[in-house]
A and B are shown apart, each in its own frame.
Chain A
Amino acid sequence: MNGTIERTANGGKGKRYRLDKPELLAPAGSLEKLKIAVHYGADAVYIGGQKYGLRSNADNFSFEEMREGVEFAARYGAKVFVATNIYAHQEDLEGIEEYLRRLEEVGISAIIAADPIIVETAMRVAPGLEVHLSTQQSTMNWQAVDYWKQEGLPRVVLARETSMEEIREMKERVDIELEVFIHGAMCSSVSGRCVLSNHFTDRDSNRGGCCQSCRWKYDLHEGGVSVMEEGDNPFTMGSKDLCMIKHVPDLIEAGVDSFKIEGRMKSIHYVASVVNAYRQAIDSYMADPQRYELNPAWVEEIGKAANRPLNTGFFYSTPGAEEHIYEAEEKPAPYDFAALVLDYDESTGIATVQQRSPFRPGMEVEFFGPGGRSFKQKLGELTDEQGNPLDAARHPLQAIKLRTDHPVERLDLMRKRIM
């Protein structure tokens, strides 16, 4: 990590803290999302492989894709971590060694593991892999952190129940990297301590089978009768999403080493927007902590890709009624991802973009790129690659040429206003 600064905390009294620039760690559910996350400023990304991860989905990385991802990330000085965060059953034990060795071989920097047997096996057979303890272990006190330190781990991902004050104390007492979730959806249970899905659907949540049963609707009965009256919302265990964009200085000053964004299933639009916002906040704070101010544009940026109710989790107090979701959860986001910039010709001012959702001439769109670059414009004429005019960009992944009001860059995104 670079960019160490020193400053005096507690208004000049108290001790001097040495503050390292924290890592911004982003989810990457596919190779394309990995590239976007890194391009928009993530210092590291975490991905899922074909096995041992909690997101079983078709987009998970093959070893080949991992290699390509590692190479791409390296060009930006970024690292790639792999989540191997299941709790293994007997049938999963065979093959762990081989899998971990392959991860090391393709250049993965670290695994994120919960099951101690995966932790221990990795240290034995793949010493080139760092082992980070997953949040699934629900580590929430400094002695538990110290236990993993003594076991030889360089980093612990803390339980989401940990408060800012507790993080500060951990950091003071144990010399280890602390990674903390700062943005995204989260389990309302203690991580790893929920088998609702196992019971309702025979799907094992601790091996990636969770069906979000905590967000379903329940009726609460008391003394044999429902507590619900006409018009009441049903009970749910669903928590609002975490969002710490307004509290970046607190996190840095508490000593958090890695800011983790949740969401391997999220779109590239979401990843780009969220990474973009936190990247700017962190950089701005590190450049001049004394004069740091929250830029409302960062908050807005996050809201453009997703419009979910947000909260600060356990950082400042135990979540209460306001922090849970009882009513319609998610409103549509005001913008939709429309195209990815593939190329820009400075001499003509024409960009080639790849269609991701339909758009047409006359539409109001916004182009944005890393570092908060953005501008709005009305779309003019569209053509296909051969220069044939189009009345609309209808086909997914079709290459479209259009004129932009200002220069754009490869991997900039174009989003369209939908409300």
Chain B
Amino acid sequence: MRTELLAAAGSIEQMERYIEAGANAVLIGEARFGMRLPGNIPEDRIAEAIDRAHRAGAKAYVSVNKLFRNSELPALPGYLKRLAEAKADAVVFGDPAVLLNVREAAPELPLHWNAEMTGTNSATSAYWGRRGAVRSVLARELNEEEILDLKGRSGMEIQVQVHGMTNIYHSQRNLLQSYMDHLGREARLVEQGPDRGRFLVEAERPEEKLPVYEDENGTHVMSADDIALLEALPELLNARVDSLYIETLLKPESYNLTAIRIYRQAIEAWERDPEGYECLEEWLDALHGQQPSDRELSFGFLYKEQVY
């Protein structure tokens, strides 16, 4: 089986370009149901998107991972039915309300459990497995030892982010808008959605720029660095991590295309010959070459010990 390389796409055309570049699975959806997508594919086009992903030979996962309010629940059964009819390969969820709705309205839809920073151990992954999930998406704040141990024990498909920024704070408050109001400035930030123009700098850490944006789901603060686990790929592949995810949010498409191509090449090289595999300088050069100078490429939490 080819290891899955998954990327989020913001439009049907972009999805096809990412598949062309080497993604064999795509994550799509819209902000009414999913959070932090690079763009919206509206409900009336989602079936077409799924179909076109399939024709291009890729799986299509739909993000339904937001935390819902009472008033948003009635839209769920219809949406899920539509996804099931369109043969979506999975629905990604964090809110248990989605699980109940899938059971009721579209029991044939496979489920991927993604509760962002709270997917931290194998027993909890297995818990959601017993409730019907086939895949567990891991928190980015785990180190390698934890990831490998978790993969060995959960008995589920495991998805690990290998590249891009990560969400480090999510609020349902409109914090940027509130601040602009406090300063007495004109601003309409919610309408802008994911936008590359804004970042936060903490007073003691002038080097770190945290991208921040606001949309209908609230305020999202992203990491100051981009993770790049290319050099750790053999360990992840050896452990049979099922899906490697590239976060495309807030990046130009050309950047994402390069990342997808390189990870695809690396995966293929490893699969052809795991023993003789070598991480090529040219891959690293390409990743580093396109990295903006004010954003570090890092291993994220892969080799860290956290305290508490």
Interface size class of A (residues with CB under 8 A): 35 or more
List, sorted by A's number, 18 A–B pairs whose CB atoms are closer than 8 Å: A90-B146, A90-B149, A115-B121, A141-B68, A144-B96, A189-B171, A194-B170, A198-B168, A198-B301, A206-B120, A213-B202, A216-B202, A218-B201, A233-B182, A237-B221, A318-B173, A321-B179, A326-B182
Check B305 for interface membership: any CB of A closer than 8 A: yes
Check B100–A143 contact: CB distance below 8 A: yes
Check A93 for interface membership: any CB of B closer than 8 A: yes
Check A316 for interface membership: any CB of B closer than 8 A: no
Cβ of A237: which chain B residues have Cβ within 8 Å of it? 169, 171, 175, 219, 221
Cβ of B289: which chain A residues have Cβ within 8 Å of it? none
**8 Å CB contact of B127 from A91, A117, A161, A221:** A117
- Given known pairs A204-B307, A227-B183, A319-B173, the reply for A93 and B205 (CB within 8 Å) is no
Q: Which residues from 74 to 116 on chain B have a C-beta closer than 8 Å to any C-beta of chain A?
A: 95-97, 99-101, 115-116
Check B226 for interface membership: any CB of A closer than 8 A: no
Check A362 for interface membership: any CB of B closer than 8 A: no
Count of residues in B whose CB is under 8 Å from the partner chain: 72
**8 Å CB contact of B185 from A116, A148, A217, A227:** A227
6 closest A-B pairs by beta carbon, nearest first, are: A209-B308, A143-B97, A147-B96, A321-B181, A207-B308, A117-B123
Report Cα–Cα, A150/B100, bound state, in Å.
10
Check B67 for interface membership: any CB of A closer than 8 A: yes
Check A87 for interface membership: any CB of B closer than 8 A: yes
Check B224–A199 contact: CB distance below 8 A: yes
Report Cα–Cα, A193/B219, bound state, in Å.
12
Check B272 for interface membership: any CB of A closer than 8 A: no
**8 Å CB contact of B99 from A89, A147, A192:** A147
Check B55 for interface membership: any CB of A closer than 8 A: no
Check B67–A190 contact: CB distance below 8 A: yes
Check A323–B178 contact: CB distance below 8 A: yes
Q: Which residues from 267 to 308 on chain B have a C-beta closer than 8 Å to any C-beta of chain A?
A: 301, 304-308
Check A65 for interface membership: any CB of B closer than 8 A: no
Q: Tell me which of A200, A237, A319 has the highest count of chain B C-beta atoms within 10 A of its own C-beta.
A: A237
Which of B13-21, B192-200, B233-241, B249-257 forms part of the interface with chain A?
A: B192-200
Check A220 for interface membership: any CB of B closer than 8 A: yes
Cβ of B219: which chain A residues have Cβ within 8 Å of it? 237
Check A405 for interface membership: any CB of B closer than 8 A: no
Report Cα–Cα, A207/B224, bound state, in Å.
22
Check A87–B150 contact: CB distance below 8 A: no
Cβ of B122: which chain A residues have Cβ within 8 Å of it? 90, 93
Check B1 for interface membership: any CB of A closer than 8 A: no
